[in-house]
């Protein structure tokens, strides 16, 4: 039975042997009945052609079945669907369940790695894992302890494992992996432990390392060609990273790679973002701190960099630049462009030409954003491409041991990793956002391997003079650079969105609601309260002619840590009763998959 499904997947692409381009995998991504990698497709649109559930009938949605993962921690990512099989990944200890949809979700196999629990202690902000990916009859998982593992999709048998990092030095993993051609690409976490970030490619069949590209350091270790690699259209030059740090600080420089990865098969380029420079105290790392906070475009064959763009040079706020890069083709000023759209933590959405790395536009996608007035878009300017930082909100100018108040957004960003969705039908992006500001006080810290290396004190609170909530779910039009509509939410929206051809957009809330809204107007069409807060990403698939919506519940992650007790409300006096909206009053731990469908 299991083999029949995988066979049917093969038939879908004409039984082709996986070519260099991995046509089989791309064919499966194009099949809306399946959801084979976490992002749904290489472009990271999180859009589905399925339309059985549409804006006329979504109000009738019902829970079809549920599944407890047996793990209590924050559940990010989502289930995969490959033929009649569903694969569910959990937070630490990173269990993978293979469920047979033909047998009402019977567990066909379960993989539970033995990991040293000490790895938990070096994972900043919960033991989340944003899920496995499928390719070539294999489930690929990158565990918390940085073990990369290839599992036989039908049996769960371990094909190979590879150690990508050293947890005792604070190197851990929370991200998914991206299968490209005959490789899988993996990142690393640990920006708060002084970890030097990198992206690494492993051979899909053997686990052999093909290449590793560091985010900081010498050109040859970053896989940068001083002449061929470009930044905003100009050659990057020699030693671009080394010259942007003082001394050897680049070795502890962060720029980790724990976000999402995209791929354009036609341009043959992979895209990802690098995280914050380390430490959070900017006075300890003068310079632009390249190439932290950077969108990177690389050739997957050898890892060589095609172009870089640094969004937040010399970060002073922990605006960790790892968010997903969504690849879309849209008409701008009457011309069809190959775009890369990135909703960055720093509150700006960057629209770039993904072939050349040209910066087309950069706009605030939350009106509360105040740390910079704008991004300089004038190619003739000396500050081309740089944010125009407001001195009052510069934690570097204020200096160590000074508390800078009222910075928007907070360190968790106008958006964290929770991925947005793009509908080619409406041309709009649907973006889960945070509406939170902060006070930030940097101070000096010492580095000890495997120990936190933070160097700042933060207080966070809902954006002042707004609706009082900590989040919005917005529709963004990149063609005009405007918010089309914005739905206020009491808490940050920490769930990945899903847009469908049924003109419906789905997202989850931290209280635990799965919500469905009209893709054009944002009108709420359906809500259901799942057992725990949702920080997972909404998925859809079709099985035996029926469309399903699936989402993981399980509060946790940064949201569960930062918001569990609520935040101080700046609009009320100190100690005011009811001044805190505490997430802990709405939800408790517990991992569960909830699957929805229309009634028969």
Partner 1 sequence: MMRYPHAPGALLTVLVLAASAGWSQETAPSSDPATAVAREENGRYYTADDIPTFNIAEDGTVDWLTYSGFRRYHAECHVCHGPDGEGSSYAPALKNSVNRLDYYDFYGIVAGGIQNVDAGHNNVMPAFGTNVNVMCYLDDIYVYLKARGTGALERGRPAEREDKSDAIREAEESCLGA
Q: What is the contact surface with partner 1 in residues (CB under 8 A)?
A: 71-74, 92-93, 117-118, 120-122, 124-127, 192, 403, 439, 441, 443, 445-446, 448, 450-460, 555-556, 560-562, 564-568, 574-575, 580, 583-584, 589
Task: Write down the least CB distance from residue 520 to partner 1, Å.
Answer: 35
Q: How far apart are CA 250 and CA 583, in angstroms?
A: 38
Structure tokens at 243: 């010259």
* Marked catalytic residue, from 100, 126, 288, 318: 318
Between 158 and 449, CB nearer to partner 1: 449
**Distance between start and end Cα atoms, the chain:** 25
Of the candidates 419, 228, 232, the one whose C-alpha atom is nearest the C-alpha of residue 326 is: 419
Tokens representing residue 201 in the block: 């490619």
Q: Which is nearer to partner 1, 192 or 315 (CB)?
A: 192
Nearest residue (CB) to partner 1, 232 versus 561: 561
In the complex with partner 1, the residue whose CB is nearer, 298 or 396, is 396
Q: How many other CB atoms sit within 10 Å of the CB of residue 378?
A: 9
Contact call for residues 16 and 174 (beta carbons, < 8 A): no
Q: Is 447 exposed, middle or buried (0-12, 13-18, 19+ CB in 10 A)?
A: middle
CA distance 58 to 55: 5
Q: Where are the alpha helices (DSSP H) in 263-394?
A: none
Q: Decide whether 255 or 556 has the Cβ nearer to partner 1.
A: 556
> Residue 137 burial by CB count (10 A; 0-12/13-18/19+): exposed, middle or buried?
middle
- Output the smallest distance, CB 509 to partner 1, in A: 15
- Are 370 and 361 a contacting pair, CB within 8 Å? no
* Sheet strand arrangement including 456-462: 404-407, 436-442, 456-462
Which stretches within 20-157 are classed as H helix? Answer: 23-30
Contact 53, 61 (CB under 8 A): yes
Of residues 112 and 246, the one with the C-beta less far from partner 1: 112
Distance CA 450, CA 452 (A): 7
Instruction: Output 545 or 575, the one with its CB closest to partner 1.
Output: 575
Sign of CA dihedral 115, 72, 199, 78: positive
Residue 125 Cβ vs partner 1, minimum distance, rounded to whole Å: 6
If the CB atoms of residues 221 and 439 are measured against partner 1, the closer one turns out to be 439
Q: Would residue 264 show up in a list of annotated catalytic residues for this protein?
A: no
Tell me which residue has tokens 């805190």: 580
**Cβ 120 to partner 1 shortest distance, Å:** 4
Minimum distance, C-beta of residue 462 to partner 1, in the bound complex (Å) = 13
Residue 562 to residue 190: CA distance in whole angstroms: 18
Nearest to partner 1 of 357, 442 (CB atom): 442
- Which CB sits closer to partner 1, 387 or 413? 413
Min dist CB 574 to partner 1, Å, is 6
CB 213 within 8 A of CB 298: yes
Q: Tell me the closest approach of the beta carbon of residue 149 to partner 1, in angstroms.
A: 19
Burial of 156 (0-12, 13-18, 19+ CB in 10 A): middle
Longest dimension (CA), the chain: 67
Per-residue buried b or exposed e for 466-504, using 16+ beta carbons within 10 Å of the residue's own CB? bebbbbbbbbbebbebebbbbbebbbbbbbbbbbbbbbb
For residue 441, give the nearest of 318, 569, 565, 570 by alpha carbon.
Answer: 318
Q: In the complex, what is the shortest distance from the CB of residue 528 to partner 1, in angstroms, rounded to a whole number? A: 21
What the block records as the tokens of 519 is 């893709």
Rounded least distance, CB 65 to partner 1, Å: 24
Smallest distance, partner 1 to C-beta of residue 536, A = 14
Residue with tokens 């701008």: 332
Task: Identify the DSSP state of 397.
Answer: H
Q: Name which of 374, 371, 400, 397 is nearest 387 in CA terms.
A: 374
Active site residues: 318
């Amino acid at each position: 039975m299991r083999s029949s499904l995988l066979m049917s997947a093969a038939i879908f692409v004409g039984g082709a042997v996986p070519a260099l381009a991995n046509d089989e995998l791309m064919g499966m991504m194009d099949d809306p009945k399946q959801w084979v990698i976490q992002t749904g497709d290489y472009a990271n649109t999180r859009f589905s052609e399925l339309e059985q559930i549409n804006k006329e009938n979504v109000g009738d949605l019902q829970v079809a079945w549920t599944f407890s993962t047996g793990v209590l921690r924050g559940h990010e990512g989502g289930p995969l669907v490959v033929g009649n099989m569903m694969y569910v990944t959990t937070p630490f200890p990173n269990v993978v369940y293979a469920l047979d949809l033909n047998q009402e979700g019977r567990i066909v196999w379960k993989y539970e790695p033995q990991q040293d629990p000490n790895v938990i202690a070096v994972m900043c902000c919960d033991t989340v894992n944003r899920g496995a990916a499928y390719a070539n009859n294999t489930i690929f998982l990158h565990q918390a302890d940085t073990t990369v593992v290839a599992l036989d999709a039908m049996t769960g048998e371990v094909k190979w494992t590879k150690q990508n990092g050293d947890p005792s030095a604070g190197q851990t993993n929370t991200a998914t992996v991206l299968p490209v051609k005959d490789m899988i690409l993996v990142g690393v976490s640990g920006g708060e432990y002084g970890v030097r970030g990198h992206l690494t490619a492993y051979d899909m069949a053997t686990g052999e390392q093909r290449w590793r590209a560091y985010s900081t350091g010498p050109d040859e270790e970053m896989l940068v060609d001083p002449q061929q690699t470009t930044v905003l259209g100009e050659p990057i030059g020699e030693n671009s990273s080394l010259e942007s740090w003082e001394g050897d600080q680049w070795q502890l420089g962060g720029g980790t790679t724990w976000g999402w990865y995209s791929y354009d098969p036609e341009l043959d380029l992979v895209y990802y973002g690098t995280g914050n420079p380390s430490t959070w105290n900017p006075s300890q790392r003068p310079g632009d701190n390249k190439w932290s906070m950077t969108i990177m475009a690389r050739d997957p064959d050898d890892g060589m960099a095609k172009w870089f763009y640094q969004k937040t040079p010399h970060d002073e706020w922990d605006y960790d630049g790892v968010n997903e890069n969504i690849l879309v083709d849209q008409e701008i000023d009457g011309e069809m462009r190959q775009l890369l759209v990135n909703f960055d933590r720093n509150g700006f959405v960057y629209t770039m030409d993904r072939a050349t790395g040209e910066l087309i536009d950069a706009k605030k996608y939350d009106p509360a954003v105040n740390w910079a007035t704008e991004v300089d878009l004038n190619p003739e300017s000396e500050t081309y491409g740089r944010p125009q930082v407001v001195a009052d909100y510069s934690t570097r100018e204020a200096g160590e041991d000074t508390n800078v108040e009222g910075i928007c957004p907070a360190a968790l960003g106008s958006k964290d990793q929770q991925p947005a969705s793009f509908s080619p039908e409406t041309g709009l992006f649907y973006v889960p956002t945070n509406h939170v500001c902060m006070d930030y006080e940097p101070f000096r810290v010492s580095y000890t391997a495997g120990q936190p290396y933070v160097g700042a004190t933060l207080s966070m609170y809902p954006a002042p003079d707004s609706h009082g909530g900590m989040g919005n779910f917005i529709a963004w039009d990149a063609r005009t650079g405007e918010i089309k509509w914005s739905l206020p939410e009491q808490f940050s929206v920490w769930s990945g969105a899903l847009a469908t051809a049924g003109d419906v957009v789905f997202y989850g809330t931290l209280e635990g609601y799965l919500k469905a809204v009209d893709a054009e107007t944002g009108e709420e069409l359906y809500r259901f309260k799942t057992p725990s807060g949702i920080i997972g990403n909404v998925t859809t698939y079709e099985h035996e002619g029926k469309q399903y919506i699936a989402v993981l519940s399980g509060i946790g992650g940064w949201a569960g840590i930062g918001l569990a007790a609520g935040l101080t409300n700046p609009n009320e006096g100190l100690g005011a009763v009811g001044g805190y909206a505490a997430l802990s009053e709405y939800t408790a731990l517990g991992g569960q998959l909830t699957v929805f469908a229309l009634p028969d």
